[in-house]
Structure 1
Amino acid sequence: MYTYHFEKVKIGISQKNAETKVQEIIHEHAKEGWRLVQVIPPYHGAFTPCFEIIFEKKE
């Protein structure tokens, strides 16, 4: 059985800063035993564009 964690990262003025933040979040969660499942990039037309990061951990 797995537990899932979903994290959203809002994109500010700089796309580069958002990508760096996504990488930091992935590394932080990996240290806590979470495994990256998927990063869903922002889609055009979104009012508040953000990345969504999905992690899983075995219970």
Structure 2
Amino acid sequence: MADEQVAVVEGPKGKAEIIEVWADGRLVEYQVRFDGNVEKCSNIGEAYIEAGVKAGVKT
């Protein structure tokens, strides 16, 4: 299964994408992609918080 974008968080600092990363048919991690950088997160809640911080909004 390919990586899948599950959400986009937009704010005054820009747009952060939350991506599910899959390997061998199972979910491995979440990534927050913002301004050319990638941060790895272990769960969707952490990913939403990080995306909000990067975009400049409370999530």
Q: TM-score, normalised by structure 1?
A: 0.29
The structure with more radius of gyration:
1
